[in-house]
Structure 1
Amino acid sequence: MKKHLIILILSIIFAASCKDNKEMAKPIGIAVQPPVAKKKPHTITVHNDTRIDNYYWLNNREDKEVLEYLHAENTYTKTVMQHTEAFQKQLFEEMKARIKEDDTSVPYKLNGYWFQTKFMAGKDYPLYIRKKEGLNTPEQLLFDCNEMAKPHNYFKLGGISISPDNTMAAYSTDTVSRRQYTIRIKNLNTGEVYKDEIENTTGSITWANDNKTLFYAKKDEVTLRSYKIYKHVLGTNSSDDIEVFHETDDTFNTFIYKTKSKKYLVIGSSSTLSTEYRILNADTPNDDFKVFQERVKDLEYSIAHFNDSFYIITNADNATNFKVCKTPETKTSKENWQDLLPHRTDVLVEDIEIFKDYLVVNERQNGLNTIRIISWNGKEDYYLPFDNETYNAYLGNNPDFESEILRYGYNALTTPSSVIDYNFKTKTKEVKKEQEVLGGVFKKENYESKRLWATARDGVKIPISIVYKKGIKLNGSNPLLQYAYGSYGATIDPSFSSIRLSLLDRGFIYAISHIRGGEYLGRNWYENGKLLTKKNTFTDFIDCSKHLISEGYTSKKHLYAYGGSAGGLLMGVIINMNPELYNGVLAAVPFVDVVTTMLDESIPLTTGEYDEWGNPNEEEFYTYMKSYSPYDNIKPQNYPNMLVTTGLHDSQVQYWEPAKWVAKLRELKTDDNKLLLHTDMDAGHGGASGRFESLKEVALEYAFLLDLEGIKH
């Protein structure tokens, strides 16, 4: 059970626009001129404050002129980067070569079957299989995504939900990359796909225990907010489906799942800072759901069921870092909750897993993950040992209460990912699988990782996880890529990446700045990086940059910054505030037009974001938001070299934000540095769907950075 059930990371020169617009872009030292977007003034007045948006017209993906402009930008990017195409191919092939193509996940057992995911050499998409009872029995192919993807430029298999009697699989697909999934049902005995078809869903499906009733969440057609829960009966038309819940508060999303005990169906409603659940016995799907604990402003909780009780992770009673409570299944309201693990100011509770003899708690202390094991009989309470200075440990797939095995995952910046089974009784662990890094070159002992602490301008210490190849000299000459996210309480853990080796082996240092806005150092770390304290996120990153420079890890000539989505907002702010610190910036699907987006309630996700950024319909939040919004604060000055990527069908950060941002930067920037926009015309927020296709975008990004460093191969 996750504490956050979420909580969101993209051909022709536009000659006509150049002719129509007298403000030609300045050359950047190469023969080709960049496209210049037309200026069509659009007035936006709020709180007696008027803004003129000259590029608002780009907000229409159906407009031919808009598509021509995006194609022109793609052509320009391709032209500017043409001299690196062979290098991009080399990078792509070496990154791909490190990945085991014929790979299989560690199997897990559920309801009498062992389930696995397989990848085949030369194939982009996975196969989903199961084996009855034992691992040595014949495998049954459930889904071959390679075949399913053939007719589509983009393909994503969403949720797979097996019926309780194991005879049917409800599954969902997205072929546009807007995260609007269509649900279908497959007979696993005959292979027949039933006529049942349900469109515009979140992709998650939950079966009742009768093997014929299933529940799903529907999305609003315009905002894409998941706002209604429906009940579907096998063999009926989806137009006859029954609405069982309507989330009318447009700052909340809704979802449905079944407890690990299989006893309860659970409808959840979630905003950034409040949650509410409804429960129903899964044996009686036609009854009404009952509210578990009604929503209260700033009350967050999540629930798990075991035996005759519910277990709750909550911030109730000022438990800022969350605590674990227990309550009888017949008395679920807050006044009945009893503390099981009290709140601690220095430990963040992130997740729990329940077994018949043990409670396992995933905690975070001083930024590092811990896994705590507590026996129900009170005789044992201990932590699994981890010996790295900076690492990532997390609970894995544990669907069986009766198991004496805990499955968890572990990796670090220098250590490939491992799936580990820990035996509660013998207190021994078995590494079931360690990620293979092919090619015969990688040795973890050739790399070094550490954790640094930078001092922010308000005196707060900001942790930085860093990795590099051993032997470098800290003389300021090293290229360094600094990454961060810093929003929604999302913690970016220091995880291993075989792809990243293409930078490390060419002399790059890689750093993750654990800035405020995430939860790396607890819930207060998040509280001090959102709403009216959001600027801490940006200044923390800048202060980390200055620390890395002052300590000799890099210099202004060799420092690069990277962020995506809300991390792209971060990139937009830092280049307005301190552009001189960075030689280059990568901004992926960047959320850069904050004020305009947050004022438009028709845009997907906007209303649900008010608790994160503030509601600009309130003047205090509008003024604060405008003071840092990247698009609104572009000014005539030098900017770093930049590569901006987006996806035409992005449902989280609409493509027009980076498109407008680049257009305005071109208009106002005073330098000759590179400014490139690449739009994936087939993809959305997560990029390309194929297993290796996304590596081509990484190869472009890496080639951009390496080229700026004069590294050609």
Structure 2
Amino acid sequence: MTNAPAAARRSHIRTHHGDSFDDPYEWLREKDSPEVVAHLEAENAYTDTATAHLADLRETIFQEIKGRVQETDLSVPSRRGDWWYYSRSEEGSQYGIHCRAAAAPDDWTPPTLEPGVPVPGEEILLDGNVEAEGHEFFSLGSFDVSDDATRLLWAPDYDGDELYTIRVRDLTTGETLADEIPRTGGGFFTPDGTAIVYTTRDDAWRPDTLWLHRLGTPVDEDVKLFHEPDERFWLGAGITRSRRYLVIGVGSSITSEEYLVDLHGDITAEPQLVWPRVEGVEYEVDHAVVDGEDRLVILHNQDALDFELVSVAASDPQGERRVIMAHEPGRRILGVDCFRDFGVVGYRSEGLERIGLLDYTTDAVEELGFDEPLFSAGPAGNPEWHSPFLRLSYTSFVTPATVYDLDLETSELVLRKQQPVLGGYEPSEYGQERRWAEAADGTLVPISLVWKRSFGDPGAGLRPVHLYGYGSYEHSIDPGFSVARLSELDRGVVFAVAHVRGGGEMGRGWYEDGKLQHKRNTFTDFVACAEHLIATGVTSAERMVAEGGSAGGLLMGAVANLAPSTFAGILASVPFVDALTSMLDPSLPLTVIEWDEWGDPLHDAEVYFYMKSYTPYENIRSDAAYPKILAMTSINDTRVLYVEPAKWVAALRHAGAQDVLLKCEMAAGHGGVSGRYNAWRERSFELAWMLDALGLA
């Protein structure tokens, strides 16, 4: 096999707080440099050569995934106004097709759609395959139909940089209107359908300005509705389900503020502040009508670590608060959706998502029950202010994605559809359970396990293990089904999730204990989970691979340095492995916003030295025997720049790591390649590499 690419080392001194660091691979940041492009292409060629022996296995896994998916399929229609809206896929096509069909008056039972059978009266609103023609990458951002059902708004991205061009089509004539708004963060129609509300980004890729575009007028005449000057805050907007208010929200990782515009009046009027911004206080607002009075239902964490739910008069948002769900430590309230006659509250208890129905009259919340010990459930596809059904999504590690409609009159859960899994999948053949690992400080860290029962229960004999982790932004890795995962479970692999601190599985305190100056807990928790699986006889270091992406890629890089001998292989997707360099440069996309998550090393020496103690790139060890490492990245990623894994791989090789690969997509963004077949092939590549590291290739 040819030698691995060796990136040139060129001195680049970075000095902060009296500390100097020579970064010899910083030159790889010049994305448009022919030398950098040539290096990335050389890395790809080397990875192709190094993994050529896995070509047959990759193809086998791809065919397994493809063979389990009903390629010609339809979603469950969702009613909005006089139409049923749904999407469908066709065998051989990469992208979804967005459609609608007329609904009969007062009929809320969605039509049963048969794959491959023409839908009576179907209108194709947007065919992603047509939109993607001639482009290596295609992603659909915004997709909206006006309330009167006569206009379509859609916003494609053809580069992966998450900048979208808004376009509009007249659905009565099929004509694409002249209104085209480039380089936006996305948008939506106003309720009357005559205008579009959209966001634009600043030079750091931060959504910072909200605009109003009236159809048929030049873009340069658009009205600025709101601007957020603070570089730590992102801006977003939406319309309440009641269609009464435009909600403008700005927020950082730890602070938020919201404004309302009453759409019964002038949308360009001065927005009304709900609650003044207070550092460290987050809140979100929805609109309800209770006994004829307009009320705002507000979720907040002021003096309530795991959040509290209150309501206030819409006419006086800063007036008297009525408590609906008081703060309860360990029960993290996640959100609220308001409908005409009731609310839906999402919360987390004992590490799992819960759903409760809110009675506006009594403020009582009734929890919906499900049978499995590990599951994920939540409201989905409920655009209407009033409906006799509540649409719910449900899944677990062994139960495919399922759609229910809750009959609000009878409380019956009506099964609408379960994701078909071809090839004779039987959920009872697979097991799932939760175990607990003890961290170094005595904290118990949950681990979710999934396995195929025919290979025996975990702990009955050493098994290959695929351990996944994330652990940042209070993001929880909840139970969910994966068709691709079956290809490893059916080969005897136990899939495990380490629910480490920094995530949100165990409440807000779990997140707080894994961020800023507590970030190392995320890494040591993951190692503790791996060591627990070894100590309890589930696996051995030679039979375990680890995986994480983005901030989870930072976790992978840190774990590689902390415990390189604990894993046979580490897969790091779009990994945030040069975190300190990024957090020191406020000109980079997202950096200033991210200071609330990681700390500000530019202005705070304590944060600087703490980050330097764990950031993967700066802590690569020359005395360690690193496991096999595969880093996946994309050249147009605006969240974690390709240069981070490129530098990390170069430095690992220079330190003596023997089996390190970099795969860089040359036409994609943070989410990787576009198109379902391309995504399946990319996942087949990753799974084949992991199976090889486990000795199962």
What is the TM-score with the length of structure 1 in the denominator? 0.93
Structure 1 residue aligned with 2:478: 493
SS in structure 1 at match of 2:376: strand
Q: 1:163 aligns with which of 141, 146, 149?
A: 146
Q: How does 1:302-313 map to 2 (within 5 A)?
A: 302-307=284-289, 308-313=294-299
8 A Cα contact 1:102 1:118, kept in partner: yes
Provide the C-alpha distance between the structure 2 equivalents of 1:583 and 1:381, rounded to a whole number of angstroms: 47
Q: 1:410 aligns with which of 373, 394, 403?
A: 394
Structure 2 unaligned blocks of 5 or more: 105-110, 112-118
8 A Cα contact 1:476 1:555, kept in partner: no
Quick one: structure 1 residues 639 and 315, their matched pair in 2 at CA, closer, same or farther if it must change by over 3 Å?
A: same
2:248 is the counterpart of 1:263:
no
Provide the C-alpha distance between the structure 1 equivalents of 2:196 and 2:694, rounded to a whole number of angstroms: 55
SS in structure 2 at match of 1:693: helix
Q: 2:317 aligns with which of 315, 332, 341?
A: 332
Structure 2 residue aligned with 1:18: none
Structure 2 residue aligned with 1:585: 570
Provide the C-alpha distance between the structure 1 equivalents of 2:4 and 2:518, rounded to a whole number of angstroms: 37
8 A Cα contact 2:544 2:694, kept in partner: no
SS in structure 2 at match of 1:686: coil
Structure 2 residue aligned with 1:107: 77
SS in structure 2 at match of 1:160: strand
Structure 1 unaligned blocks of 5 or more: 1-30
2:88 is the counterpart of 1:144:
no
Q: How does 1:157-306 map to 2 (within 5 A)?
A: 157-203=140-186, 205-220=187-202, 222-283=203-264, 284-306=266-288
**CA apart distance, 1:410:** 1.1
Greater Cα shift, 103-112 or 517-526: 103-112
Task: Report the AA paired with residue 49 of structure 1.
Answer: D
8 A Cα contact 2:421 2:483, kept in partner: yes
Task: Report the AA paired with residue 299 of structure 2.
Answer: I
**CA apart distance, 1:480:** 0.3
Q: 2:638 aligns with which of 642, 645, 651?
A: 651
Q: How does 1:10-21 map to 2 (within 5 A)?
A: none
Q: How does 1:457-472 map to 2 (within 5 A)?
A: 457-472=440-455
Greater Cα shift, 241-250 or 453-462: 241-250
8 A Cα contact 2:196 2:212, kept in partner: yes
2:115 is the counterpart of 1:128:
no
2:650 is the counterpart of 1:631:
no
User: What's the Cα RMSD here?
Assistant: 1.4
Q: 2:662 aligns with which of 673, 677, 682?
A: 677
Q: 1:38 aligns with which of 8, 18, 23?
A: 8
**CA apart distance, 1:475:** 5.4
**CA apart distance, 1:137:** 5.5
**CA apart distance, 1:55:** 0.2
Provide the C-alpha distance between the structure 2 equivalents of 1:369 and 1:382, rounded to a whole number of angstroms: 14
Task: Report the AA paired with residue 643 of structure 1.
Answer: L
Provide the C-alpha distance between the structure 2 equivalents of 1:131 and 1:336, rounded to a whole number of angstroms: 46
2:584 is the counterpart of 1:602:
no
Provide the C-alpha distance between the structure 1 equivalents of 2:287 and 2:342, rounded to a whole number of angstroms: 14
**CA apart distance, 1:180:** 0.5
Percent sequence identity over aligned pairs: 38
What is the TM-score with the length of structure 2 in the denominator? 0.95
8 A Cα contact 1:392 1:494, kept in partner: yes
Structure 1 residue aligned with 2:116: none
Q: 1:555 aligns with which of 540, 562, 571?
A: 540
**CA apart distance, 1:164:** 2.4
Structure number with greater CO (CA < 8 Å, separation at least 6) is: 1
Provide the C-alpha distance between the structure 1 equivalents of 2:359 and 2:212, rounded to a whole number of angstroms: 39
8 A Cα contact 2:545 2:693, kept in partner: no
Aligned length: 675
8 A Cα contact 1:213 1:285, kept in partner: no
Provide the C-alpha distance between the structure 2 equivalents of 1:66 and 1:379, rounded to a whole number of angstroms: 60
Task: Report the AA paired with residue 266 of structure 1.
Answer: V
8 A Cα contact 1:206 1:256, kept in partner: no
Task: Report the AA paired with residue 630 of structure 2.
Answer: L
Q: 1:370 aligns with which of 334, 338, 354?
A: 354
Provide the C-alpha distance between the structure 1 equivalents of 2:220 and 2:637, rounded to a whole number of angstroms: 28
8 A Cα contact 1:223 1:605, kept in partner: yes
Structure 2 residue aligned with 1:95: 65
Structure 1 residue aligned with 2:649: 662
Structure 2 residue aligned with 1:514: 499
Tell me the alpha carbon deviations over residues 267-287 of structure 1, each in whole angstroms, 9 at most, x when there is no partner.
110110111111112242232
Provide the C-alpha distance between the structure 2 equivalents of 1:380 and 1:529, rounded to a whole number of angstroms: 33
SS in structure 2 at match of 1:488: coil
Tell me the alpha carbon deviations over residues 302-360 of structure 1, each in whole angstroms, 9 at most, x when there is no partner.
111122111111112x1111111101111112x43321111111211112222333322
SS in structure 2 at match of 1:158: strand
Task: Report the AA paired with residue 77 of structure 1.
Answer: T
SS in structure 2 at match of 1:445: helix
**CA apart distance, 1:211:** 2.4
Provide the C-alpha distance between the structure 2 equivalents of 1:462 and 1:693, rounded to a whole number of angstroms: 35
**CA apart distance, 1:476:** 5.3
